[in-house]
Structure formats: C-alpha cells, structure tokens
Amino acid sequence: MTIDDSFFLNVGIDAVGFYAPKFRLSLDDLAKRRGVDPEKFRQGLLAEEFAVPDYGEDAISMAIMAAQNAITRGGINPMDIDAIFVGSESLPYAVKSIASILSAFLNIQENAFTGDTLHACAGATLGLLNAVGLVNSNIIDKALVIGTDISKYPLGSSGEATQGAGAAAMVICKNPRIARIGSKFGKVSGHVDDFFRTLYSENAEVFGQYSTVAYLNFVLKAYDNFKSQAGPFLADYYVFHAPFGKMPIKSFQRIMFERWFDDSVKMKLMLAKAEERMYTKQEREMVLSGKEELQLATITLLREKGFQEDEIIGLNYFYKDWLALKLMPCLDVPMRFGNCYSASLWAQLIHIMETRVKEGDTIYFNSYGSGATAISGMFKMQPGFKQHLSQGPTVLDYIKKKQKIPIEHYEMYKRDLIPGFIHTGHVVAAPENKSFLNVAMCERGCVLPQQEEIRRCPQGHSGVHEHSFPMIGIVEKIDETDVEMKDHVCVDSVFLVGDIKSGNKVELAIRRLKVEPDTGQIHWYPAYVAK
C-alpha cells in the first residue's frame, strides 16, 4: 500500500510562507446578528471565525507578505527565482498580472517568467504544475508559486459565513529541502455552473447544494484517476480544498466508504476495527441515526452493501479515529481563516508540514476549482525538513495573532466605510529585525520598475528614490497625521496605518492606499501597522 520512492520526482517544495489578516469575525457574533442558531455555522460548516482584511489590505498585499515570508524563512536569494506564478480569483486588473506586480516588491530578477494562473480555487495548483514542469525539464531552476484570495459574499447571504482571506507561498526547485512531489496526478475537468463571479461584480454567485454535489463528484473522479496511475495507496495525511471545514470531511468519508470497499487490504483493516468492542444502546442509536461521524447517506450505502449494524457502528469509530489522525489536523485553517479560495489547500498543507508530519510521510492532496476542475497528487517529506520550517512566522503564529472585531466593524468593512487613519513618520529597524524589503519609488511614492531604461513614473512625478524598509521597526517620530494621499510627497518618511504613536513597534505591510480617479491605476505602498 506504500507508493515506491521512485514515484516521486526530485522536484518539490523548498520553502513556504503564509499570511492572513489579523482581524477576525466570530461566527457566533455573525449568527446572533443574522438571527440564526450558532450551531448552524459551528457544526454545519465546522467553522468558528473568518479573517477580515484591514484597511488597504487586498490579494496583492497578502501575496507579497506570504512570498516575503517564504523567501526569508527559506534563506532564498530573490535573484535566484526565475518564475512567479500566482493563482487568484481576486484580480485587481482585467489586464496586468499580479505576478508582475510582485516582482518589483520582491526584487525578483527581470529575466523571469511571470504570470497568473486562473481556474477559481485551483489557480495556485495550476501554477504549481507549471512550476514543477518547468523545473523538472530544466527550463528554469527555481519558481515562486502563490495562492492569494479574499472570498466575498453579500451581507446576509447564504455564503456570508464562508468568507475568508489569506495567502500561501511556496518555492519550487530540484533537490527540495521540504517535500518531493509525485510524478503522476489525478485530473478531471468539465463545464459546470456551480459557482461564478461576473467580470464587474465583487461578490460570487454560488448554487449551494449543487456546488457541493459537483465538488464531491470531481474529488472522487480525481482520486480515481490518480489511483489508476499510482496504484493502490494509503497516505499518512489527506488534504482537500476547503470552502468550509465540513467539505474535506465529506470528501474523506466518500473516498473511504465508496472507494476502499474494492480494496481487500483496507477492508480487512476496517472490519478488524469493527470487531474490537461492544457498543452501548446509546452509542448504537447515535451512530445509526447519523448523529456521529457517519452521514446517513453513508449508513444507507453500507446497509445496501450488506453490512450489519454492529459492523456499521464499528466502521464509524474506525473512520472517527482515522479522521482525527489523517485529516483533522489541517482543518485549523478553514476553521480560523475561512475560505481562502486558491490559498485554502496550500495553507492547510503548509500547516501540517509545520506541525504534524514526519520524515518520509506522504500527503495526498486534492485541489478543486469551480467551473470545474479537480487535481490530485502526492508529496513525500524529505529527511531533515523540520529544520527548514523552524523559523516563523508559521500558520499557527497567524492563528494566534488575531484581533477580534465587533460585527459593526465587519459591516463597515463590507460597505467600504473603514477609515484609513494614514500618517507619516520615521521608522528604524528593530533590534530583532532580520530582513528588509527594497523598492524604488518616485517622490510621491509610486513604485517604479526595475528596468533602468524605463525607471521613471508614468504619472510624471519626478525622482527615483531607493528605499529599504525593515520588516520589523520602531517608530522614531510621527510627522503628519491623517494625510491626504493625493497631496502627499513621499521621500524621507514612511506611511503608518492605524492608531500608531511614536515609540510603537510596527511591522511592514504592503497596502493598497490610492487609486487614480481618471485611469483607475492602483498604488500599493510599503506601510507600517502596529505589531
């Protein structure tokens, strides 16, 4: 049942990074505001809270921070990266890639591929496949792959509780220090109208029950296609795209009870568990009524296959044990950050790599993108990988680093009414700072291209100023408060966002702070927020 080591390429994940907004909305508070039972969210979705972006925080700002974390944690020289692929549904421009924007902020060499890979929540997975193929064929040496998204639904809508935000980044190369990827992939695609967002709409449209059915159908088909190429297998961990926490659980259950019955070794393992103990009347009633782990549809299926009640009850507890060991550890991500769309799967993968897996462990992954496609594959952990994940910030750090916001703050954010409170001041590197972000800017703060021949501002602003921003700093002094971005000249000072005072410790956070009224050109600025 173990896949041979030769199945895995000498290509894979060499460094990882994650980023999520610190603001979180409790779903208990949302349930109270909407007049629904909190258990509808807690048990029905397996969700507790979701991330809400701060002022000026968007998919680009999150992508830059996740990528910077990966580069710093992995000790990667940005000039060694010769491709950036970004998967996202939260595009700022109809024409202009996120990847090209990132290249300027991350000091990536100009002789690099940049591009966005799009297929709903599977966008980053397609970027990963691009990177693996190019590296494995020796066309490039090192690629940066990022999934970054903010999921949005209207106030009071059925999808409101499944919103979220986050970004995950991975560096892909040969001789990876963290994990090698398999040489075969499960894949299925088709025209399915389960979920979509029209070009000029901020909010997605989803056909709830139909979308769930489509997701599960494609997940099973991708599993079947992977197994047909890799042969029978048992992974040490399973990771699925998570629109909300319950969906991976449904996927795992469907795979176990609709696919494993054809495998005599797995069936023997499951039935042995079913014979281990006697069950009380209360346990029997709970399991057989669908109030434990097994869903009623699965219980019906088992009965149709000739399983007796005690066997079904035993299989419930076998599944419960495997669920706790093989799937649940990664579900902290959807439970705490909500649906991160293209970052969802990869943030979960990073989380269990940082907290659970051991050398030699295998991880089966299954990515889903509405519209629809599903892609599955496998990673194998490398010897000594833990030392390359020891430096933070980890996903767990972001889980802990949160600020609970009242429902009124969230509703103001949804109506685009959150005040900016943008100040200017001087920041020096904190003693513990280890890295800097270097960019060239005009006198008004527009980020300039790296190419010397065209290093000037298209807006006509003068000056080329090289800035080096410490990732962690201390505010020396405040120059101006509540500045107007359109009038501000940015040469020696830096932007500070929020309630920040002289002496405060701050951290760098790229923010979207200005949009040109005539052209729609968007400006992202290095800024500092309270640490």
> 191 and 68 share a domain?
yes
Q: How far is CA 473 from the centre of its chain?
A: 27
> 433 and 506 share a domain?
yes
Q: Give phi and psi for 414, each to the nearest 5.
A: -65, -30
Task: Round to whole Å and give the CA distance between 215 and 410.
Answer: 29
Say if 253 falls within a structural domain. Answer: no
Task: Round to whole Å and give the CA distance between 478 and 501.
Answer: 7
Tell me which of 48, 57, 89, 160 is the catalytic residue: 89
Task: Round to whole Å and give the CA distance between 57 and 318.
Answer: 43
| End-to-end C-alpha distance for the chain, whole angstroms | 47
- Computed over its alpha carbons, how large is the radius of gyration of the chain? 24
- Choosing from 291, 323, 355, the residue where a domain stops is 323
Band of residue 308 on the pLDDT scale cut at 50, 70, 90: confident
Say if 344 falls within a structural domain. Answer: yes
Q: What is the pLDDT of residues 63-80, one digit of tens each?
A: 999 999 999 999 999 999
Give whichever of 74-83, 150-159, 318-327, 462-471 has the largest mean pLDDT: 74-83
The length of the chain, given as a count of residues? 531
Query: What number is the average pLDDT over the span 475-483?
Result: 92
Q: How far is CA 131 from the centre of its chain?
A: 18
More confident residue, 234 or 264: 234
For the full predicted model, state whether its pTM sits above 0.85: yes
Query: What number is the average pLDDT over the span 38-42?
Result: 93
> 391 and 295 share a domain?
no
Say if 32 falls within a structural domain. Answer: yes
Tell me which of 119, 241, 351, 388 is the catalytic residue: 241
Residue 13 sits at the vertex; the CA angle it makes with 8 and 14, to the nearest 5 degrees, is: 125
Tell me which of 48, 49, 119, 121 is the catalytic residue: 121
Six-digit token pair at 403?
A: 């600020």
Which residues lie below 8 Å from residue 167, measured CB to CB, with a gap of 6+? 18, 19, 20, 59, 62, 63, 65, 66, 67, 146, 147, 148, 149, 340, 343
> 203 and 272 share a domain?
no
Q: What is the pLDDT of residues 141-156, one digit of tens each?
A: 999 999 999 999 999 9
> 331 and 317 share a domain?
no
> 361 and 315 share a domain?
no
Say if 167 falls within a structural domain. Answer: yes
Report the candidate in 46, 78, 236 with the shortest Cα–Cα distance to residue 169: 78
Q: Which amino acid is at 397?
A: D
Q: What is the pLDDT of residues 60-119, one digit of tens each?
A: 999 999 999 999 999 999 999 999 999 999 999 989 999 999 999 999 999 999 999 999
- What residue numbers bound the domain in which 304 lies? 259-323
Six-digit token pair at 305?
A: 């296959």
Question: Is the distance from CB of 97 to CB of 114 less than 8 angstroms?
Answer: yes
DSSP bridge pairs for 181: 379
241 included as an active-site residue: yes
CATH number for position 202 = 3.40.47.10
Band of residue 266 on the pLDDT scale cut at 50, 70, 90: low
- The whole-number pLDDT of residue 151 equals 95
- Choosing from 301, 323, 345, the residue where a domain stops is 323
388 included as an active-site residue: no
> 133 and 242 share a domain?
yes
Say if 270 falls within a structural domain. Answer: yes
173 included as an active-site residue: no
Domain count, the chain: 3
Say if 223 falls within a structural domain. Answer: yes
> 30 and 64 share a domain?
yes
Residue 496 reports pLDDT greater than 70: yes
Residue 487 reports pLDDT greater than 80: no
> 167 and 193 share a domain?
yes
Q: Is 231 left (phi over 0), alpha (psi -120 to 50) or beta?
A: left
Say if 254 falls within a structural domain. Answer: no
- Choosing from 323, 340, 360, the residue where a domain stops is 323
> 181 and 287 share a domain?
no
Residue 261 to residues 208, 257, 365, 377, 378, Cα–Cα distance (Å): 29, 6, 21, 21, 22
Which residues lie below 8 Å from residue 33, measured CB to CB, with a gap of 6+? 407
Say if 236 falls within a structural domain. Answer: yes
Instruction: Say which residue the tokens 């709409």 belong to.
Output: 201
> 131 and 210 share a domain?
yes
Residue 214 to residues 123, 269, 449, Cα–Cα distance (Å): 18, 30, 43
Question: Is the distance from CB of 29 to CB of 407 less than 8 angstroms?
Answer: yes
Report the candidate in 344, 436, 347, 439 with the shortest Cα–Cα distance to residue 101: 439
> 350 and 305 share a domain?
no
Task: Round to whole Å and give the CA distance between 119 and 355.
Answer: 29
Task: Round to whole Å and give the CA distance between 344 and 244.
Answer: 10
